[in-house]
Amino acid sequence: MARELRGFGGKAVPVEGDVFVRSSCQRVVAATIEALGRIDIFVSNPSRNIRGSILEYDADAFDKVIQATLVSGFHMGQLVARHMVERGGGGKIIFISSVHVHIPFARSAAYNAGKAGLNHLSFTIANELTPHRINVNVIEPGWIDTPGEHEEFGTEVIQKMGPTLPWGRFGSPTDIGKATVFLASDDADYITGTSLLVDGGYRMRGAVE
């Protein structure tokens, strides 16, 4: 990825860390500022989903999913927000949530709860950072064709399901990337504290005549 960005003439400095651990988050933010001088755009997309029936769901697994989908967003969001405020305000913070916020999918209690919490956390951050003119928004992807989905459901199932979705296909990482670029741009200057559902109509699936 860094090599690809450099190929476009940009500056890219990979910074390795574990966003599930507070001390590691601090190192990631500090190393990024040291390498680039400042942070103007932050996109938060750490996640983990361990599926299972609520009657049999392991308590440790629940904690791990909440840590991945919600707590890591708090750590990185807070640290980046502090930097943006300290350097004089302005900036874009974008959290990647999920259509799960709207649909209580079975066997995903922890993930559903974590993403719903992430939305409200994001809106609260947006509220508090408004005086500093820091835009904070959420993107809610629908069913996206990623390696993880192939691993979870199998490629054959993914290929069969795509044409049955409202838009006739799965979403792609590019779809989410374009939405992210928009929210990170000056065109979204007057947008903060809101969520953008990028799901090809998935939420409306089943709502047919």
Nearest to 97 by CA among 109, 78, 81, 113: 113
Instruction: Select which of 44, 47, 92, 111 is catalytic.
Output: 111
Catalytic residue among 47, 115, 122, 202: 115
**Residue among 98, 108, 122, 202 flagged as catalytic:** 98
- In sign, the C-alpha dihedral spanning 52, 53, 54, 59 is negative
Residues 126, 123: Cα–Cα separation, whole Å = 5
Rounded distance between C-alpha atoms, residue 195 and residue 108, angstroms: 21
The identity of residue 3, as a single letter, is R
Phi, psi of 44 (to 5 degrees): -105, 120
Our CA angle for 197, 199, 205, nearest 5°, is 115
Confirm whether 115 is a catalytic residue. Answer: yes
Q: Is 111 a catalytic residue?
A: yes
The verdict on whether 64 is a catalytic residue reads: no
Q: Which residue numbers are catalytic?
A: 98, 111, 115
